[in-house]
Structure 1
Amino acid sequence: MSSGSSEAGSARTFHSGSRGIVRLAWARRLGLPDLAFSDDGGRLLGCLDAVSSLTVVELFGQLALSGPTELVEEAADLPDEDLLAGGALLRLAGHGAHGLSTGVLGFVDDLPVLQPDTEPEVSRGNPEAIELETRCPPDDVSSAGIERREHRFTLMLPDGPAACAAYSVREGLIADLGVLVAPALRRRGLGTFMARLAAHEALAEGYLVQLEAQAQNVGALRLADALGVVPSGRIASVLLGRT
């Protein structure tokens, strides 16, 4: 995501008044007090000994660590950039650590209404979304995470499912959005169209929309810019090799 709005998303899509909702949702997710995040706050430590991951989140300029107490305390004084790059998390997590993920977080609280020339055929069923996943590379399927998001919207074309946008509700406040497009149909705006559709549905239900674009996923970054998503944070996490 670029630091400013792209032409396609030139209208403001996130307002400063919505920061409190995002902060509350992430505080609860990271095991922090509800009002832990603040404009002038320092580094936050969330100790959750039962979790199987170590996570660092930078949200509106404030950093928070969450994971087992021992690892969080070891990471407490490391530089922000070392943690967000992910390498420090891997070293701290030690033997068996895997699944390192780094990305950019963006949020939407409003989107311009999009009126298509023709009414698209959209399925909310699971079989269509699953069929689309079989048409895509495993890494793309894993990154989009359609299977772990319960609200799914799949664009159907004569040849079958073409693109799917799906969201799951986090902490009752935020709709976390993922998008998957069949490889042969990419760069045609289908992913952006479906992301807008799903985002509008989530906004109508009263949720803010969150998009996490993996740092190495060029397609996700382009999608965020096309939507006009405002980049407001970064995240890095690693799975622990614990039983």
Structure 2
Amino acid sequence: MNETFHESSRGIVRLAWARRLGLPDLSFSDDGGRLLGFRDSARELIAVELFGQLALSGPTALVNEAADLADDDLLGGGALLRVAGPGAHALSTAVLGFADDLPLFQPETEPEVSRGNPQAVELETRCPPDDVSSAGIERRDHRFTLMLDGEPVACAAYSVIEGLLADLGVLVAPGFRGRGLGAFMVRLVAHEALAEGFLVQVEAQAQNAGALRLADTVGVAPSARVASVKLRTR
């Protein structure tokens, strides 16, 4: 494991994801096999590889159909789309990293950070739609927006998974990238979440090279992969 995440914290991550997938609390284990979660009310089909163990969750018929497919096919997303059938949409593939500790940092000057929603929304209007979707700021409850000269330039936000994990995303305005602002905000918001007693989960879309580099910059190493697809509304 890396220096920002320790073996003793694995159990908390496993517990949070087991509950997220509708599995018994102690389902994930070091020597466990493939896990199947049956939730007929689910509106998504999801595959997660957590510390080397794969779990599938979704409606019973779809999970059974996907149960014997190869890990890489499921986590690449193509197999999920095929199994989900017509009307499936919003395919997402991502890597996840976790942190239970981060080096302390102290900026030279006190940054202006807004916790208001309007500033985060304004930042989203200044960014390409694909970047906005990948960052997922709008679906995360706790938003922290860095302001420069009264304008929003970067936002990191998190939502809480099962009362245990702070799931974090970050968005930086195109004209302000490459300056370390994303890493700065990730560290700042991660410390806020850690101070609240949560472990930090950083999600980077698999096709987003910038997000992957950012996670590496702040010392969060990939520990999991996840793929999901939204199901047709019946």
TM range (shorter): over 0.9
Q: TM-score normalized by structure 2?
A: 0.98
Matching of residue 226 in structure 1 with residue 217 in structure 2: yes
**How many aligned residue pairs are there?**
234
**Counterpart Cα distance in 1 of 2:82 and 2:156:** 35
The alpha carbon displacement at 1:159 in A equals: 5.1
Match of 1:200 in 2: 191
Q: Deviations over 1:143-174 (max 9, x none)?
A: 11111111111100015001000000110000
Q: How does 1:125-164 map to 2 (within 5 A)?
A: 125-158=116-149, 160-164=151-155
Match of 2:104 in 1: 113
Match of 1:43 in 2: 34
The alpha carbon displacement at 1:230 in A equals: 2.0
Q: Quick check: 126-135 or 166-175, which moved more?
A: 126-135
**Counterpart Cα distance in 1 of 2:78 and 2:118:** 38
Q: How does 1:171-210 map to 2 (within 5 A)?
A: 171-210=162-201
Unaligned runs of 5+ in 2: none
User: SS at 1:222's partner residue?
Assistant: helix
Aligned AA for 2:233?
Answer: R
**Counterpart Cα distance in 2 of 1:172 and 1:30:** 14
Q: Which of 86, 97, 100 is the aligned partner of 2:91?
A: 100
**Counterpart Cα distance in 1 of 2:157 and 2:225:** 21
Of structures 1 and 2, the one with the larger relative CO (CA 8 A, separation 6+) is 1
**Counterpart Cα distance in 2 of 1:99 and 1:131:** 24
**Counterpart Cα distance in 1 of 2:72 and 2:135:** 25
Q: Deviations over 1:116-160 (max 9, x none)?
A: 111111111111111111111111111111111111111000150
User: SS at 1:169's partner residue?
Assistant: strand
Aligned AA for 1:65?
Answer: L
Match of 1:8 in 2: none
Aligned AA for 2:9?
Answer: S
The alpha carbon displacement at 1:240 in A equals: 1.1
Aligned AA for 1:91?
Answer: R
Give the root-mean-square deviation of aligned CA atoms: 1.0
**Counterpart Cα distance in 1 of 2:206 and 2:138:** 21
**Counterpart Cα distance in 2 of 1:220 and 1:48:** 31
Q: Which of 43, 62, 73 is the aligned partner of 2:64?
A: 73
The alpha carbon displacement at 1:242 in A equals: 2.7
**Counterpart Cα distance in 2 of 1:99 and 1:130:** 21
Aligned AA for 1:214?
Answer: Q
User: SS at 1:110's partner residue?
Assistant: coil
**Counterpart Cα distance in 2 of 1:148 and 1:88:** 26
Unaligned runs of 5+ in 1: 6-11
Identity, in percent, stands at 77
Match of 2:21 in 1: 30
**Counterpart Cα distance in 2 of 1:213 and 1:226:** 13
Q: TM-score normalized by structure 1?
A: 0.94
Task: Provide runs of 4+ in structure 1 moved above 3 Å.
Answer: none
